[in-house]
Amino acid sequence: MNVLVKIIRDEDRNLTLNDSWHLVDPCNFQGSAALCTGEFFGGGESIAEFEMKEVSRGGITCPKCIQILKIYKAVKL
């Protein structure tokens, strides 16, 4: 499952004007954060206003998140 977030207002309570869905970084063990910006959200993390959803596949509309994922996929193990 992909956990996605849309940040509506940032930590400073400013509207973000960004309607993209970001991947919640699955490797950030410090708390819930968007993959592309590292911006934390959620109870105890920040006062950012956000919306979350889970999808079985895809759903990411943020160009920066998609770019990061493509770079990760290019790594050969």
- Confidence (pLDDT) at 10: 86
Mean of pLDDT over the chain: 93
Q: Are 43 and 31 in contact (CB under 8 A)?
A: no
Report residue 16's pLDDT band, with 50, 70 and 90 as the boundaries. confident
- Confidence (pLDDT) at 30: 92
CA distance 58 to 77: 23
Render pLDDT for 24-72 as a digit per residue (tens, 0 to 9).
Answer: 999 999 999 999 999 999 888 888 899 999 999 999 999 999 999 999 9
CA distance 56 to 28: 20
Residues 6+ apart with CB under 8 A from 16: 7, 8, 9, 10
- Confidence (pLDDT) at 33: 94
